[in-house]
Chain A
Amino acid sequence: MLKKRDDFEDILEERRTSSDLRYALRCYTPVLYKGVTPCKTSVLKSMVLQSDQLHYVINQVSKESGRAADDVREEASAILEEMAHSLQLSTVRFFAFMLSKVFKTLFRSICVNEEGIQRLQQAIQEHPVVLLPSHRSYMDFLLMSYILYTYDVALPVIAAGMDFMGMKFVGEMLRMSGAFFIRRSFGGDKLYWSVFSEYVKTMLKNGYAPVEFFLEGTRSRTSKSLTPKLGLLNIVMDPFLKGEVFDVNVVPVSISYERILEESLYARELLGVPKPKESTSGLFKARKVLSEDYGSIHVYFGQPVSVRSLAEGRVNRCQFNLVPRHIPRRPSEEIQSFVNDSAYRLVRAQEENMVLKPWVLLASLLLQNHHQNRAAGQKPGMALDELTTQAVWLRDVSRQYGAFLHWPDHTSPSEVVSSGLSLHRALVRVCEGRVQLAVEQGVYLTVTPEEELLSQAVVVLSCASYRNQMLHVFVRPALLASAIHIASSNQKQEVFNSFSFLRNMFSSEFILCPGATVQDFEEACYLLVKTGVLQVTQQEVLVTERGHRTLAFLTSMLDPFLQGYQVRETFSVSEDTETLTEKQFIPAVRKVSLCFSVCTSTLHRTLLRYAEVLSSDLQKNALAALQRLGAVRKIKGYVGFHHPCVPGWLD
C-alpha cells in the first residue's frame, strides 16, 4: 500500500532570495505539444466558429427555431466572446510578480514535486494534456499557473465558473491569465453546449495549451473530495474516443493546504450563512487574511494517466463508425459509465497524493475526544501529553494505511504537536496542560442559544474539515469497522451486507466508485488484516486482541456521519409534511436540528452531539442517500417521504 512518492522542492525559497521583478520578466519559453506554435485567440475563435460541429448545430438550431442561420451564428459568436480566454504573457508576468509577494507573506513554503513537473513536461510534448487539480481554495488556479510559469511549463487554459465575471476587473485579469468562463448551468442550450465543447476540444486537440479544470466542479467546503462532475471530462475524452488524437494525458494534481484561507468562511457557508457574492471590493476586504500565517502548501503533480489505457478493453470505439463524428450525440451508456469510473479513479489519484500535516491527526483526535466527552458529560479537552501519545499512535497507523503524511522525523513529537496547535490557534485552546476545541469561550459575542450553538459549530466544522483530509485513507476500513459493529454476527456474508448497505448510503458522502463494492470490501479487509486488526477466514471476520483500538478509532471516525444521516431519518419521521420543495428542505432540517439541540429533551441533545449534523453538505448527501435507498422521492423539485422511513439500522 505504501507508494513511492517524489520529493518536494520549495519554490518560495528562491523567491525569498532573488528579485521578484527579474523573475516576472524572465525569459519564458515553454515547449508545446509536438512543437506547435501557440495560437492567437482570434484564430482560435474562428477555428471554433468554422468547425463542422458548430456548423451543424447552428443549422439545426436555425431550422428548429425558425431563426436565420446568420442570427444563430451571431449568437454563437457572442457566446464564444463571453467564454474565451485571452491569455497574455504580460498579465501572467504581472500575476507572477504580485503572487510572489502575496505568497511569501501568506505561506511558509510552496512545495512542488519536481519529478512530477518533469513528467508533465514530457507528457505535454507527447500528447494533449488535461490538468486536474483538486479544489479547496480560490487560490488553486492561480497557484497552478504560477507554478507552471515558474518551471517553464506551458500555461494552461482554465475552465472557470461564470460567477467570477461578477468581479469586472478581476474577471478580465483572470481571463488574460488563461481562464475561460462557463455558465454554471446551461442544461438544454444546445448552442451553448456546442460552442463550449468545440472550444475546449479545439484547444485540446491541437495541443495549443493544456486544459485545466476542476473535476469536483466547485471548491470543496469540507475538504472531502466531491463527487466528480462528468461534463468536461466527457468533452476532453471525446477527441480520443473519436480517434481525433492518439491519446490524451490526464494529470491529477493534489494541492494540500496546511491551513485553508477560506477556513471559517466555508464553515459558515455550510451552516447556511450565505456565500458572499464574489466582488472586487470583497476581495480587498479579504486583505486582513494577509497578516496571518497559513503554513505551507504542497502541490503534487501525479502520474499522467493515459485515456487510451483507461479505455483499453472498456470502450468499443467502433461505435462512432456509423455516424459522422461532428454530429453531436448523447454518449452511450458504455461511455457514460466509462467516464464515470475514470472520474472516480482520477479523484482517488488526487486524494492519494494529498499531503497530510500532523495537525490533521490532531484535529481527528480532538474531535473524537470532544464528542465522547460531550456524550459522557466529562471535562472538556484532553491532556497535552495524552494527545501527543495518541498522535504518535495515529501517525503510525495512518502510515500503515498508506497516508502521505508529512511528519517531521527529526523533531520530537511534542514539538510537532505544539507547532501544529499553534498554527491553528483559532480552533484550539491550550490551558493548564489541556487541549480543547475553542468552542466554550464563545469566539463570537452571542445572544441567543441558537447563535451560540452556531458559533460553536463553526469551530467544529472547521476542525472537521481538517479531519476530513484523512478520510480517504481510512474510509474503506472505517466502513468495514462500522459494518462489523452493526452486523448481527461475525459471518463474513453478514458483515459484507452491512458494509454494502453503509457504502451505498455513503456513496455521495465519500469517493466510492459505483459498482466497486466487492473491490472496496476486499481492499478494506486486506488493509485491516495486514495491520493485524482482523482475521478474515472463508466464513468469518474476527477482531484480534490488539485490533480493538484501531477499530474503535475507525468507527468513531464515521460516527458523525452516521449520526447526521440518522437525524435526517428522524426528521423525516417527525416532520409530518408530505412534501417540501427541495430548496426549503435543507433549511427546514437545519431548523429542526437546531431546535432539537437547543431546547427540548435530553434525548435529542445526546442524539445531536455532533455539530456536524448542521452541515448543509452532509444534509444534501443524506437526502441523496435516502432517495437512493427509496425512502424519499423527489418529484420535480419536491421532496416526498415514504413511511415508514429507513430500516432501523442504528437502533
Chain B
Amino acid sequence: LHGCAPVWLEIMKWNGWGYSDSRFLFNKKGQAEFTGKRYRLSGMIIPGLKDWFEGTFGANLQHKTPPTPLLTNTAVPPATLNEAFVEEVKSTGIPFSHDAEDRVFRAHGHCLHEIFALREGKIGRVPDMVVWPSCHNDVVKIVQLACKHNVCLMPYGGGTSVSSALECPPEETRSIVSLDTSQMNRILWIDEKNLTAHVEAGIVGQDLERLLNESGYCTGHEPDSMEFSSLGGWVATRASGMKKNIYGNIEDLVVHIKMVTPQGVIEKSCQGPRMSTGPDIHHFIMGSEGTLGVVTEVTMKIRPMPEYQKYGSVVFPNFEQGVACLREVAKQRCAPASIRLMDNEQFKFGHALKPQVSSIFTSFLDGLKKFYITKFKGFDPNHLCVATLLFEGNREKVLQHEKQVYDIAAKFGGLAAGEDNGQRGYMLTFVIAYLRDLGMDYYVIGESFETSVPWDRVLDICRNVKARIIRECKDKGVQFPPLSTCRVTQTYDAGACVYFYFAFNYRGLSDPVHVYEQVEHAAREEILANGGSLSHHHGVGKLRKEWMRDTISNVGMGMLKSVKDYVDPNNIFGNRNLL
C-alpha cells in the first residue's frame, strides 16, 4: 500500500527544501541560475551570485560536495510494527503505509543537521508507519487505537519544522506512527456574516489562501513557510505571519480549535470573540507542539482580499538609524502590513540575487540610483541598510499610509528606494531555503534562527549575537570568516522580532555539523543573555528544550507537565518536544 499522497512526494525533494524542479545551480559558464517555473526568479540567470558566494565564503566552484543521489532502502531501519494496531487500522479503511520512502520523508524537518544527514544518506530512527486520516473522525479512531495498543503517535503537517520537532526520539521503543494530516485539507464552511472560515487543519498555507481567494477572502496569515506549512502546524507552534501587523499572529486569528487527545476531544462550546472563562484553553493547545494531541479543525478569522498592495523600500545610512525608524513606526502604531529591516550584509546578499537585467536602460538606472545614494547622499555602502515594506488596503489609504511611513523614515535619514527593491526583499524569503541547498553543494552550511526582544535591546542583541557567531566559528576552527547577518522582521508595541542568518564554509572541518551545532548553541545562549526570548515563532521542539526551565520557571514547567500528565498519561503523543 503506497501512501495516498504520492503527488506530494514526487514533486518535493526528499533531501532538501521545496519543489524538485526548483533549485539553484551554477551552470557550465559558472553563472548561477534558478530552475523551474514556480517563482519570479525561476529560469533567470543571477550574475552577481557567484562572486558574492565565493567572496563571502571563500568557496570555490571546483570544490563540490554533492548529495547522495538516491535513497537506498537498505539504509532505512526496518519498521517495528505493532501488528494488532496495524490490523485494526486496516479494518477502519484509513490509508497507511510502511514504505521506506514515506517513512523517511516524515522523519525530519528542515534543521541543518537533518538535511545534512539526508544528503549523506544517513538515516536515523524513522517512523515505523504512516497513516493518512481524511477527517476529524478518522483521527479520533486512530488516537483511540493508539491508546489501546500503546503506540506512539507523531502528528505531521507540512514538515517545515526547524526545531527538531519531527525527529523520532531514538529511545522510543514502541512502534512510532506518523499521523500525516495532509488529506484533511478542506475548507468546511465560510461564514461571511462573522467573517470566519472553518478549515481542516491539514491544509497548507498556499492552498488555504488560494481557496479563500476564490471566494474573495484571505486569512492574511503568511509565514515564510506558507507554501508548505499547515494550519495545524501553525497552531501547534504558535506561528507568526509576515503580515501580522494587519491580520495578527495565529493566536489572534483562531476563533475555535478542535483537538483530539488521548482523553478525548477538546473544544469550546461557542465561538464568542472573547471569553472570560478561566485561562484560555486555546493557549494549552497553541504551542503544544504535538505533545497533547492532533489539531483537526480550526475556525479562523478571514478578511476580504485587499484591494490594493504596494511594495516599498527605504535605504538608511546605517542599521542604528533603521532600527530607530522602526521603533518610531511601532510607537506611532502605523506599521504597514509588513516592515523588515535588513542589515548591511543582508543588503549585499539581496543585491547579489538581482537577476540579469534585460535592458541597458534598467542597468543605467541602477547605476544612477547607486551613484545618488552613495556619492550624492554620502551613504557608506558598507554601512547602509534597507527596510522593505508592504502596504495593503484600499488604494487611497495605502498611499496615505505610505506617505506617513516615508515621512517618519526621512526623519531618520531614510531615502525611499523603490518598489522593486521591496518586492525583491520579500521574494528572498521564499528562495533563501533553496539557497541553503546550493551552499551545501559547495561546502557551505547555514541556518537561520529567530528571537523576540524589547526595543531597547534590539541593537545590542544584533551586534552581540553576530559577533558571538563570528567569535565561535573562529574558536571552533572554521577556516573562513562566516556570514553572520540579521534582520528585524516584525515590530510590536514593546519590542521586535529579530532573525539571524549564519553560514560558513566548512572545508577542513572533520565534523562540520557538530561545529555548526556548537555555534548555534552559543548564539542562543548569547540571545538569552541579551534579553531575547527562546523563540518568537519557530517553537522549542527538541532543539531548544534545555532552556525551557530557565525560560518559564520551575512552576511554569510544573504547570505544563501536569497538563501533559492529565491529557496524555501514557505519552501516546511521544515526540518529546517542549518539556
Give the interface of A toward B (CB within 8 A).
Answer: 243-244, 246-247, 316-318, 320-321, 324-325
Find out whether the CB atom of A243 lies under 8 angstroms from the CB atom of B456. no
Q: Which of B525-553 contact A (CB under 8 A)?
A: 528-531, 550
Residues of A within 8 Å of B460, CB to CB, are 243-244
Q: Tell whether B254 is near chain A: CB-to-CB under 8 Å.
A: no
Find out whether the CB atom of B528 lies under 8 angstroms from the CB atom of A243. no
Find out whether the CB atom of A243 lies under 8 angstroms from the CB atom of B529. yes
Which of A246, A317, A325 sits near B456, CB closer than 8 Å?
A: A325
Residues of A within 8 Å of B528, CB to CB, are 318
Find out whether the CB atom of B468 lies under 8 angstroms from the CB atom of A243. no
Residues of B within 8 Å of A244, CB to CB, are 460
Q: Tell whether B395 is near chain A: CB-to-CB under 8 Å.
A: no
Q: Tell whether B370 is near chain A: CB-to-CB under 8 Å.
A: no
The distance in angstroms between the C-alpha atoms of A316 and B529, with both chains bound, is 7
Which of A247, A316, A321 sits near B531, CB closer than 8 Å?
A: A321
Residues of A within 8 Å of B457, CB to CB, are 243
Given contacts A318-B550, A325-B456, contact A246 B531 (CB under 8 A): no
Residues of B within 8 Å of A321, CB to CB, are 531
Find out whether the CB atom of A243 lies under 8 angstroms from the CB atom of B550. no
Find out whether the CB atom of A317 lies under 8 angstroms from the CB atom of B463. no
Q: Which of B95-138 contact A (CB under 8 A)?
A: none
With both chains docked as a complex, state the minimum distance between the C-beta of A543 and any C-beta of chain B, in angstroms: 45
Q: Which of B485-540 contact A (CB under 8 A)?
A: 528-531
Q: Tell whether B324 is near chain A: CB-to-CB under 8 Å.
A: no
Q: Which of B55-91 contact A (CB under 8 A)?
A: none
Residues of A within 8 Å of B531, CB to CB, are 243, 318, 320-321
Interface centre among B463, B528, B531 (most CB of A within 10 A): B531
Residues of A within 8 Å of B150, CB to CB, are none
Residue of B nearest to A246 (CB): B467
Find out whether the CB atom of A318 lies under 8 angstroms from the CB atom of B529. yes
The distance in angstroms between the C-alpha atoms of A325 and B458, with both chains bound, is 13
The distance in angstroms between the C-alpha atoms of A559 and B467, with both chains bound, is 52
The distance in angstroms between the C-alpha atoms of A628 and B176, with both chains bound, is 65
User: Secondary structure of the A side of the interface?
Assistant: loop
Residue of B nearest to A127 (CB): B467
Find out whether the CB atom of B468 lies under 8 angstroms from the CB atom of A246. yes
Q: Which of B432-490 contact A (CB under 8 A)?
A: 456-457, 460-461, 463-464, 467-468
Residues of B within 8 Å of A243, CB to CB, are 457, 460-461, 464, 529-531
Find out whether the CB atom of A324 lies under 8 angstroms from the CB atom of B456. yes
Find out whether the CB atom of B467 lies under 8 angstroms from the CB atom of A317. no
| Sample (23) of A-B pairs whose CB atoms are under 8 Å apart | A243-B457, A243-B460, A243-B461, A243-B464, A243-B529, A243-B530, A243-B531, A244-B460, A246-B463, A246-B467, A246-B468, A247-B467, A316-B529, A317-B529, A317-B530, A318-B528, A318-B529, A318-B531, A318-B550, A320-B531, A321-B531, A324-B456, A325-B456
Residue of A nearest to B460 (CB): A243
With both chains docked as a complex, state the minimum distance between the C-beta of B329 and any C-beta of chain A, in angstroms: 21
Residues of B within 8 Å of A246, CB to CB, are 463-464, 467-468
Residue of A nearest to B550 (CB): A318
Residue of A nearest to B531 (CB): A321
Interface centre among A246, A247, A316, A318 (most CB of B within 10 A): A246
Per-position binary interface string of chain B over residues 152-194, scored 1 when its CB falls under 8 Å from any chain A CB and 0 otherwise: 0000000000000000000000000000000000000000000
Residue of A nearest to B466 (CB): A246
The distance in angstroms between the C-alpha atoms of A325 and B464, with both chains bound, is 16
Residues of B within 8 Å of A320, CB to CB, are 531
Residues of B within 8 Å of A316, CB to CB, are 529
With both chains docked as a complex, state the minimum distance between the C-beta of B522 and any C-beta of chain A, in angstroms: 11
The distance in angstroms between the C-alpha atoms of A48 and B243, with both chains bound, is 39
Residues of A within 8 Å of B530, CB to CB, are 243, 317
The distance in angstroms between the C-alpha atoms of A427 and B553, with both chains bound, is 66
Residue of B nearest to A320 (CB): B531
Residues of A within 8 Å of B550, CB to CB, are 318
With both chains docked as a complex, state the minimum distance between the C-beta of A1 and any C-beta of chain B, in angstroms: 27
Residue of B nearest to A247 (CB): B467
Interface centre among A243, A316, A317, A325 (most CB of B within 10 A): A243
Residue of A nearest to B525 (CB): A317
With both chains docked as a complex, state the minimum distance between the C-beta of A207 and any C-beta of chain B, in angstroms: 13
Give me 10 other A-B pairs in contact (C-beta within 8 A), A317-B529, A317-B530, A324-B456 excluded: A243-B461, A243-B464, A244-B460, A246-B463, A246-B464, A318-B528, A318-B529, A318-B531, A318-B550, A325-B456
Residues of B within 8 Å of A317, CB to CB, are 529-530
With both chains docked as a complex, state the minimum distance between the C-beta of A315 and any C-beta of chain B, in angstroms: 9
Residues of A within 8 Å of B463, CB to CB, are 246
Residue of B nearest to A324 (CB): B456
With both chains docked as a complex, state the minimum distance between the C-beta of B324 and any C-beta of chain A, in angstroms: 14
With both chains docked as a complex, state the minimum distance between the C-beta of A172 and any C-beta of chain B, in angstroms: 36
Residues of B within 8 Å of A318, CB to CB, are 528-529, 531, 550
The distance in angstroms between the C-alpha atoms of A101 and B457, with both chains bound, is 51
The distance in angstroms between the C-alpha atoms of A321 and B495, with both chains bound, is 13
Residues of B within 8 Å of A247, CB to CB, are 467
Residues of A within 8 Å of B464, CB to CB, are 243, 246
The distance in angstroms between the C-alpha atoms of A325 and B453, with both chains bound, is 14
Residue of B nearest to A242 (CB): B460
With both chains docked as a complex, state the minimum distance between the C-beta of A37 and any C-beta of chain B, in angstroms: 14
The distance in angstroms between the C-alpha atoms of A324 and B454, with both chains bound, is 10
Q: Which of B246-302 contact A (CB under 8 A)?
A: none
The distance in angstroms between the C-alpha atoms of A244 and B457, with both chains bound, is 8
Residue of A nearest to B529 (CB): A317
Residue of B nearest to A239 (CB): B460
Residues of B within 8 Å of A324, CB to CB, are 456
Interface centre among B461, B528, B529, B530 (most CB of A within 10 A): B529
With both chains docked as a complex, state the minimum distance between the C-beta of A305 and any C-beta of chain B, in angstroms: 16
Residue of A nearest to B465 (CB): A246
The distance in angstroms between the C-alpha atoms of A320 and B457, with both chains bound, is 11
The distance in angstroms between the C-alpha atoms of A317 and B464, with both chains bound, is 13
- 9 nearest CB pairs, A to B: A317-B529, A243-B530, A246-B467, A321-B531, A243-B460, A246-B464, A243-B464, A244-B460, A318-B528
Residues of A within 8 Å of B467, CB to CB, are 246-247
With both chains docked as a complex, state the minimum distance between the C-beta of B458 and any C-beta of chain A, in angstroms: 11
The distance in angstroms between the C-alpha atoms of A247 and B463, with both chains bound, is 11
Residue of B nearest to A126 (CB): B467
With both chains docked as a complex, state the minimum distance between the C-beta of B382 and any C-beta of chain A, in angstroms: 11
Residue of B nearest to A240 (CB): B464
With both chains docked as a complex, state the minimum distance between the C-beta of A322 and any C-beta of chain B, in angstroms: 9
The distance in angstroms between the C-alpha atoms of A412 and B51, with both chains bound, is 66
With both chains docked as a complex, state the minimum distance between the C-beta of B530 and any C-beta of chain A, in angstroms: 4
The distance in angstroms between the C-alpha atoms of A605 and B351, with both chains bound, is 87
The distance in angstroms between the C-alpha atoms of A325 and B467, with both chains bound, is 21
With both chains docked as a complex, state the minimum distance between the C-beta of A142 and any C-beta of chain B, in angstroms: 35
With both chains docked as a complex, state the minimum distance between the C-beta of B554 and any C-beta of chain A, in angstroms: 15
With both chains docked as a complex, state the minimum distance between the C-beta of B496 and any C-beta of chain A, in angstroms: 15
The distance in angstroms between the C-alpha atoms of A325 and B531, with both chains bound, is 11
The distance in angstroms between the C-alpha atoms of A320 and B550, with both chains bound, is 14
Residue of B nearest to A52 (CB): B456
Residues of A within 8 Å of B529, CB to CB, are 243, 316-318
Residues of A within 8 Å of B456, CB to CB, are 324-325
The distance in angstroms between the C-alpha atoms of A316 and B531, with both chains bound, is 11
The distance in angstroms between the C-alpha atoms of A516 and B371, with both chains bound, is 63
The distance in angstroms between the C-alpha atoms of A244 and B456, with both chains bound, is 10
The distance in angstroms between the C-alpha atoms of A320 and B464, with both chains bound, is 15
With both chains docked as a complex, state the minimum distance between the C-beta of B552 and any C-beta of chain A, in angstroms: 13
The distance in angstroms between the C-alpha atoms of A244 and B529, with both chains bound, is 11
With both chains docked as a complex, state the minimum distance between the C-beta of A241 and any C-beta of chain B, in angstroms: 9
Residue of A nearest to B459 (CB): A244
With both chains docked as a complex, state the minimum distance between the C-beta of B315 and any C-beta of chain A, in angstroms: 22
Per-position binary interface string of chain B over residues 550-562, scored 1 when its CB falls under 8 Å from any chain A CB and 0 otherwise: 1000000000000
Residue of B nearest to A326 (CB): B456
Residue of B nearest to A317 (CB): B529
Residue of A nearest to B551 (CB): A318
Residues of B within 8 Å of A325, CB to CB, are 456
With both chains docked as a complex, state the minimum distance between the C-beta of B181 and any C-beta of chain A, in angstroms: 37
With both chains docked as a complex, state the minimum distance between the C-beta of B486 and any C-beta of chain A, in angstroms: 14
The distance in angstroms between the C-alpha atoms of A246 and B528, with both chains bound, is 14
